[in-house]
Amino acid sequence: MFGSPQAQIAREPAANLAPRLFPAVVESLRLRGGATVLDLGAASGGTVLLFGGCRCRLMFADLLSERGNTGSGLVPDAVTARISQVVSAGSGGRPVDAVLFWNLVNYLEPATIKALMQLLTPQLSRGAVLHLLVEYSATRIPDPPPRLVPLSRDELRVDVSGPGVRPSPGYTPADIQRFMGTLRAEKTVLLGNGMQEFLFRKP
């Protein structure tokens, strides 16, 4: 129950996560073919295998490699510089058709998310999709951030790299919509592990 003692401590992430909206992202890109996908996480063989079947151009930003040791996380300038570098080098001049946030929004400050979206939104194609997972019930979350690795379009492996925890930002759906600016929340669903899954689309 929200607000119970269990909700006040960091939950150990399940070994696997079953997303409900992510399969639709993969299928839409498969049907589209030749799409450009920006992954804000680190490169993984699972992601390459999954989206390789969609004939997608993949770009990995690995944002957390830019994370400082100040406790405040990524600063806006570091994020925008990293994204600009990755997109200019990997997109081939094409607009971005999909952005995979995974769980990283939970580890970014509001100013950083807004700066990221101000940079990204003009580079998105019409109808581009953004997929993200947001902590909803937990007040403390793992730190370093767990890495989500696709095993299939229906299953993500959760890799936890350490025992540390940090406060959850407690972002609400209204917060997330505000961060996304002009993008429209197409679908959202609350998963069994207490995370909220979002699918946004550029009009």
Q: What tens-digit pLDDT sequence spans the chain (203 residues)?
A: 333 333 333 444 456 889 999 999 999 898 887 899 999 999 999 999 998 878 889 999 998 775 543 344 677 888 888 889 898 887 778 899 999 999 999 999 999 999 999 999 999 999 999 999 999 888 889 888 888 999 999 999 998 877 889 899 999 999 999 999 999 999 999 998 888 999 999 99
Amino acid at 107: Y
Task: Work out whether strand 36-39 and strand 195-201 pair parallel, antiparallel, or are unpaired.
Answer: unpaired
3-state class (DSSP) for residue 65: helix
The angle that helices 22-32 and 45-52 make with each other, rounded to 10 degrees, is: 50
The DSSP call for residue 69 is S
Q: Where are the alpha helices (DSSP H) in 65-164?
A: 76-90, 110-120
Give the pLDDT confidence score for residue 175 in this predicted structure. Answer: 95
Residues β-bridged to residue 165: 142
Give the pLDDT confidence score for residue 66 in this predicted structure. Answer: 58
Global confidence as pTM: 0.86
CA-nearest of 191, 153, 199, 166 to 14 is 191
